[in-house]
Structure 1
Amino acid sequence: MRTIYKWSFLLAAPGLLWAAFEMFGWTLTGPQMLFFSVAHVLPIVLLMIWLAAPLFILWSGLTLAALARTRTRRALTLSIRQAAALLMGQALFGLSFLSYERWSHSPLRPVVCIVGIAIMLMTGVVWVRWWLRSSIYPTGSTRHVEGN
């Protein structure tokens, strides 16, 4: 299960990073037509974004399961704090993406973009720390998993 968790993120990461870059980075200057520029110039990026969507759902579902079930959390070697932080980042990314048309035209756009960038960085840091720790400890080891 841990391997599926890692690979679902690793394969989704390029598309998610591009989506976050367009959604939070470029939108700082004004609303964008998300993915319009890459659809014509870089179709491979568009393919990565399409691949990222179901993998993001899988990754988020496994994180939610880890937050809800101790057994899943132990199998993924996630602490409850890591699972909560990752799920918060995933939920906010998903909500930002789904409500992009609404907030990108509002006066709060710069605030949403800056908060979005901060949350994506926080999610990345939590995930990298988990990756490093889960690579050190053997599968099924819960020595570093808090809150079980």
Structure 2
Amino acid sequence: MSGTIRYYFEQSIGVDIVVYIAFSFLIIAETQTGIKASIKVKNNRFRSRPFGRMLFKLFTYTTLLFVLNSFSSRIKTPELLGFEVNPFQWLYYVVFAGIIFQLVISWLENLAVLGYSEAKGLLGVVLRKYNKWFEFDGTKNAENE
């Protein structure tokens, strides 16, 4: 049974089951800390809507990975100078890395709001390094105006 599940994830989503469990854990952790940060900062009371959003996010990301992996693994692409040129494979990895990166940034932001100084320091390092190319906290466009 576990072999069937492992095979399903590797073939349809493109990742090992352990990677998918870690990915799911990241979504759950980001949601949990987001709820706690919202309660701390805004004095919001607990509502069940974030759990529905968490499941929707997990479903949406899994579907996106499934679609991109299907394109990547099942569309024959041409070879150029002996190398297979597969833009869908590149797109799959870029999207997957982008999703993971955004979840980690959000998780670190939530932990920083909750008072974890280590998370705040690490978040600052990551944002300073990557805001040169990407906009994760809204400061890139503010610098250009």
- TM-score surpassing 0.5? no
TM-score (norm 1): 0.36
TM-score (norm 2): 0.37
Largest Rg, 1 or 2: 2
Q: Structure with the greater relative contact order (CA < 8 A, sep ≥ 6): 1 or 2?
A: 1
